[in-house]
Structure 1
Amino acid sequence: MSESPAPGAAVSRPEQSDPVSVVFRLVWGYTTSAITHTAFELGLPDLLESGPRSADDLAEETGAHRPSLHRLLRTMAALGITQETENGDFVLTEAGALLQSKGPGSMDAMARLFVHESMWRPWQGLTQSVRTGEPVFESQFGMDYWAYMKQHPEVSRLFNAAMGDASQAVGTAVAAAYDLTRFQTVVDVGGGNGTLLSAMLQATPGLRGIVFDSASGVAQTKDHLAAAGVSDRCEARAGNFLEALPEGGDLYVFKSVIHDWDDERATAILRNCRQVLPDEGRLLIVEPVIPEAVTVSPADPFPYLNDLNMMVSLRGKERTQSEYEALLDAAHLRLSSVQQVPGPERVFLIEAVPVPQS
């Protein structure tokens, strides 16, 4: 495992040498999201799957204005998404290939989700959220984020696919970093289509599992479990983890769940887990752990950007190790270990054990 700062440590990184470039990236950041959104709208990543294409060919196939499309493609090249060949054709780079709908390591669903209006519009109200401490999603869409997904099944499918894409590599990494052979049944709470748990089961023969999520969350779980070859050892159950969790597990896993909620509801979810967790059982939270302080800029911005994303759209937050300890203590659980999982998602394994209750 690569070395990394302890979760409670301050982040210290060398200053970048070109402050002007830092400021330009800062104020022009929204433009790259717009470019990515337009590339998806025109279907460019998949159209470039077979190899180099000219702007003329792509304009004819997409119905776009040829000179304007050429300007878009060359900007994508400047951003490292495409590359212009000597004869003026365009081809996807290795990074651009990750935006295709199919292929190894595809980030198509994740990228589409984060350039969807349900993600970027709330950021226009960031100032209001900072002033009030309240999310602005509901004032912009007339409902909270979870209700929005229920009314927009295409967004719900995109969300589940995005979480699934992100979970495949994480599940494999978790199985490599964490001893799953100690357990008999893993309950993946908020497990969506079962990608995370499938990877854990594939890596651990004999282990059984339960994917627990809302009815819409588990709508595609059975098919995915079958495709992964683990349906004989795993089942999908629908329910509301704010109300109760299924019994029968000796390991309960929460990936990208607790950070969606404020302290009150996060504690309620963890208390529900404590109610069904056997004395010898374990709780495993798979999420980022941000440092207690950022002393030198630039730090890795992703966990902090996602923290603000939670602020404008939900009521959740990214947390420090001490904040996780406080949540666990309130739920009659004790933090037993924290370790970082190698990989692009920057996640940690936060293990907790039940505190005996009199």
Structure 2
Amino acid sequence: MATSSDHQSGPSPSPLNQLLFSHVYSAAVRAVAVHRIADHLAETPRTADDLAERAGLHADSLRRVLRLLAMHGLFTQDEKGTFGLTEAGQALRTDVPGSQHALALLITDEMFRRAADGLPDTVRTGTTPFEAAYKVPFFTHLAGSPAAQQLFDTGMNVMSGRGDELIAGSYPFPGSGTVVDVGGGRGGFLRAVLSGEPGLTGVLFDQPDTVADHVLDTEEVRGRWSVAGGDFFSEVPAGGDVYLLKRVLHDWSDEDCLRILGSIRRVAAPGKRLLVVDTVLPDNGDPHPGVEVDIVMLMLVSGRERTAKEFEGLFSRAGFKLNRILPTPSPASLIEAEAV
């Protein structure tokens, strides 16, 4: 059976061309994600005509989109025009463990596209593109749009869920005590932490609407958790032995980070631990996947990815001492500090 790769010819596209056309690729991914084409290919390869009939789509347009994505490894295409799923394309199915379908819908959503359009002005003015486009900060927009909030929470849960157990297993959590997950979303990371240490209890703290949709009601952590809703800029639950901030600080400016850290420091006695899960960018400019996420932060919010030196400076100003930085199997690191 011949595949699309057997028929490729001509010079490879230049790095510049690949970058110039990247928005075309992401638009094509969104098209097949919106119409759940991968689900229709779960059992067997199909022609574009068959897929179009099943999904109520325009066959020739669908064929052309699938041909592009086959060229980039998400689908296969044979000489009869039959398309199938590659291993990479399987992740777009909605019914498989580790599905990336919700994340694909989030990253290709209009919120991200409109924000990206504003980057030329941002490099001139330093303003946040999302706020320029929507006239409100990103998280204010989410709070006022249940659909956008649901899209964001679901997509972030997919992104976080891939590495929660691996990250939690990379740190020597104490065998007893209370862990407070500040800005912990739906609780996937806290669940992974508690699952690994049967003697720990935990508190999930985030916006009330977010924690109401938590994922902690499982047998392995039964009876060892509680949820609390509130604003981490104002106050956080007291009584924690370890305070967690997973992928929170990168959303905020230095001054806002100091407000969050200040809320924790007010209730954390000297010696209590703070554990930050975030990307730590290399100081020497080496390539790192966090550099891509840093541009997303530039587009959407006032936050940024930070170096070890920048984290150390934030902690010092907020009354914490950086102890160590531990690698994880994910792009994020575990940054341990303690209240002083």
TM range (shorter): over 0.9
- Counting only pairs closer than 5 Å after superposition, residues 68-79 of structure 1 correspond to structure 2 as 68-79=61-72
User: Where does residue 291 of structure 2 map in the other structure?
Assistant: 304
Quote the Cα distance in structure 1 between the aligned partners of 2:239 and 2:92. Answer: 39
Query: Match of 2:223, SS?
Result: coil
Quote the Cα distance in structure 2 between the aligned partners of 1:249 and 1:170. Answer: 24
Instruction: Kindly indicate whether the alpha-carbon contact (under 8 Å) linking 2:33 and 2:104 is maintained by their aligned counterparts in 1.
Output: no
- Counting only pairs closer than 5 Å after superposition, residues 1-358 of structure 1 correspond to structure 2 as 21-85=14-78, 87-221=80-214, 224-227=215-218, 229-294=220-285, 299-300=287-288, 302-343=289-330, 346-355=331-340
Instruction: Kindly indicate whether the alpha-carbon contact (under 8 Å) linking 2:168 and 2:189 is maintained by their aligned counterparts in 1.
Output: no
Code of the residue aligned with 1:181 in structure 2: it is P
Query: Match of 1:339, SS?
Result: strand
Query: Deviation of residue 49 (structure 1)?
Result: 2.0
- Deviation sequence 1:54-78 (CA, Å, 0-9, x none): 2111111222221221111111111
Query: Deviation of residue 166 (structure 1)?
Result: 2.4
For the structure 1 residues 228 and 77, does the alpha-carbon distance in structure 2 shift closer, same or farther, using more than 3 Å as the test?
Answer: farther
- TM-score with structure 1 setting the length: 0.88
User: Where does residue 5 of structure 1 map in the other structure?
Assistant: none
Instruction: Kindly indicate whether the alpha-carbon contact (under 8 Å) linking 1:183 and 1:250 is maintained by their aligned counterparts in 2.
Output: no
Quote the Cα distance in structure 1 between the aligned partners of 2:148 and 2:43. Answer: 28
Which segments of 5 or more consecutive residues in structure 1 lack a partner in the other structure?
1-17
Query: Deviation of residue 50 (structure 1)?
Result: 2.2
Query: Deviation of residue 182 (structure 1)?
Result: 4.4
Query: Match of 1:177, SS?
Result: coil
Code of the residue aligned with 2:317 in structure 1: it is A
Instruction: Kindly indicate whether the alpha-carbon contact (under 8 Å) linking 2:180 and 2:204 is maintained by their aligned counterparts in 1.
Output: yes
Stretches (4+) displaced over 6 A: none
Instruction: Kindly indicate whether the alpha-carbon contact (under 8 Å) linking 1:168 and 1:199 is maintained by their aligned counterparts in 2.
Output: no
Code of the residue aligned with 1:122 in structure 2: it is A
- Deviation sequence 1:307-341 (CA, Å, 0-9, x none): 12211211001101100011000001010001210
Instruction: Kindly indicate whether the alpha-carbon contact (under 8 Å) linking 2:176 and 2:200 is maintained by their aligned counterparts in 1.
Output: yes
- Deviation sequence 1:126-183 (CA, Å, 0-9, x none): 0211222120212211221112112221221121122222223422112321111344
For the structure 1 residues 314 and 182, does the alpha-carbon distance in structure 2 shift closer, same or farther, using more than 3 Å as the test?
Answer: same
Which segments of 5 or more consecutive residues in structure 2 lack a partner in the other structure?
1-10
- Count of residue correspondences: 330
Quote the Cα distance in structure 2 between the aligned partners of 1:164 and 1:318. Answer: 20
For the structure 1 residues 101 and 276, does the alpha-carbon distance in structure 2 shift closer, same or farther, using more than 3 Å as the test?
Answer: same
Code of the residue aligned with 1:276 in structure 2: it is V
Query: Deviation of residue 113 (structure 1)?
Result: 0.8
Quote the Cα distance in structure 1 between the aligned partners of 2:219 and 2:145. Answer: 27
Quote the Cα distance in structure 2 between the aligned partners of 1:288 and 1:136. Answer: 22
- Deviation sequence 1:203-251 (CA, Å, 0-9, x none): 2112111110001221211xx2114642411111100001111012111
Name the % identity: 36
- TM-score with structure 2 setting the length: 0.92
Instruction: Kindly indicate whether the alpha-carbon contact (under 8 Å) linking 2:157 and 2:186 is maintained by their aligned counterparts in 1.
Output: yes
Query: Match of 1:188, SS?
Result: strand
Give the alignment's Cα RMSD to 1 decimal: 1.8
